[in-house]
Structure 1
């Protein structure tokens, strides 16, 4: 006989500790295993009608799983700042102070490192690493391309300033991971407006092509012509990332009209799609190098 899908009023739309709900006589263990409840972590359940987001999981971990001193960090911290998106079913990144024992815990990605008091704040009641400390951890835990893309977003949202971040990274010469932080900070650009644009720019720079200007505005006789994702203004060469929003016919029409104006201004504009970035990036690099060479003569 299937378990009752009971949702007591006091727990509706909430996250609870299963053992506490059973001890209080609110639910039975069989009812917790019913379709009415969704397990988030060991002994932590959410009302199945609750829209569980990554933030929900971060809050549940902070309130019901993490011991004092352990904080939300990395991609999860960046998601709480609105600088990236993490799926609801992905592990929550947490940082455990060196010397403190915790984990492993299913549903958590546990990292260990030194934490200073100034590295932690509370955001909507959740203990989380500061944006600056989050950048440091991202640089250590993620591939460079992905870390830079998130640091770009933190900088674009004015949560970190890149000049102090770079200075701070260089001030920690000799600390474990300082070179990775310097690399990520040097590659970051607050002008980037999307994660794909960030990744494209980083891959171009890592291919030893001169760093482009982000969101460059082209004007003619003081009048706006276009704004370009990536540009080498002195050579009049630009790269545009074509995202999924080009399925919108009106947006496609506006973009192509903008491209025509740019061609009238004697620009070379190369377009990159997600498919090309994934499957033929070397071919695109050859085209970009050729375009830059043709304008350098």
Structure 2
């Protein structure tokens, strides 16, 4: 049983462990009657696998952020509850660590991933648009698009085919705000926050060139105004990377670009203040000849 996840009752019935041995510190209980070798680092993916194989009824599927995590498009924490979509007529008792959602599941709404039933990319996006606020839904949809698991036209068609059902308009709204060019969740949050505040939609990963020579690639840009936003992420703990980034941005400033920097702290605590700075820069550039 070393290195494995297993049903305790099965291990006992096969004579592999006794009840007393199962209670020892060598084994870690994950859910009722589901155990893991205590040496295993229990991740959210492992918990999803255990739930999908042993705890959900037929026809149910791992869904929401849990499904997005299995697709590599979200990073749920190890202890974050696992979303499970269960057919409307099926009842499932409460289980710690599982967040149950009931709903109609159409043909094609689920797929098999390594023996675990998971909602399809399109259904995952629909559920996220229904269950999360629009910014957090777009964060995951951006990643789905960037990883080519689906496309914006396909998601629009999916939503329209379900017109009148709860959440179809939410999915359309999220898809209209989504952009496959986003390279991090924080970039997505920044972009959507700016757009929802009424600013023009920026270009993502905009390349600035001088006489055909690459100068820089910007997280978010309004090239007609030569205004850009750069999100300063954790990689700036690396002094060399920070130096390279600032060097390229200095070249942009010399080329008459305004580059505004947003940190995680400002995104969290002072987005309104940052928004005012971006709005002022766009307003100034819209009035001045360039």
Q: TM-score, normalised by structure 1?
A: 0.94
Task: Note the 1:35-114 alignment, pairs <5 A.
Answer: 35-114=25-104
TM-fit CA distance, 1:246? 0.2
Moved over 6 A (4+): none
Tell me, in whole angstroms, the C-alpha distance in 2 between the residues paired with 1:103 and 1:140: 23
* CA-CA distance at 1:139 after TM superposition: 0.6
Q: CA deviation at 1:32?
A: 2.2
Residue deviations 1:86-129, cap 9 Å, x none? 12221111100111111221111111111112111101111111
Structure 1 residue 129 and structure 2 residue 119: aligned? yes
Q: How does 1:243-262 map to 2 (within 5 A)?
A: 243-262=233-252
Displacement, 1:42? 0.9
Unaligned stretches of 5+ in structure 2?
none
Note if contact 1:40-1:107 (Cα within 8 Å) is conserved in structure 2. Answer: no
State the Cα distance separating 1:50 from its structure 2 match: 1.6
CA distance in 2, matches of 1:146, 1:20: 40
Could you tell me which runs of 5 or more consecutive residues in structure 1 were left unpaired when the two chains were aligned: 1-10
Aligned to 1:8: none
Give the CA deviation at 1:196. 0.6
Cα offset for 1:34? 2.1
Partners of 1:128 and 1:38 lie apart in 2 by 25
Q: 1:18 & 1:90 partners in 2: Cα distance? A: 23
Q: Alpha-carbon deviation of 1:67?
A: 1.8
Matched, 1:264 2:272: no
Pick which of 157-166 and 222-231 moved more.
Answer: 157-166
- The secondary structure found in structure 2 opposite 1:66 is coil
Q: Residue 65 of structure 1: CA displacement?
A: 1.0
Is the partner of 2:108 in helix, strand or coil? Answer: helix
Alpha-carbon separation, structure 2, partners of 1:275 and 1:81: 29
Structure 2 match to 1:188? 178
8 A contact 1:79–1:85 mirrored in 2: yes
**Alpha-carbon separation, structure 1, partners of 2:31 and 2:131:** 23
Check if 1:158 corresponds to 2:156.
no
2 CA distance for matches of 1:139 and 1:65?
26
Q: Are positions 1:21 and 2:19 aligned together? A: no
- Structure 1 partner of 2:166: 176
1:27 match: secondary structure: coil
Distance 2:156 2:220 in 1: 22
- Contact persistence 2:146–2:180 (CA under 8 A): yes
Corresponding position: 1:235 with 2:225: yes
**Paired residues, what number?**
287
Note the C-alpha offset of 1:164. 2.2
> Are residue 199 (structure 1) and residue 189 (structure 2) matched?
yes
| CA shift digits 1:122-144 (9 cap, x unpaired) | 01111111111110011111111
The normalised TM-score by structure 2 is: 0.96
State the distance in 1 between where 2:239 and 2:97 align: 41
Shift of 1:166: 2.1
| Contact persistence 2:61–2:118 (CA under 8 A) | yes
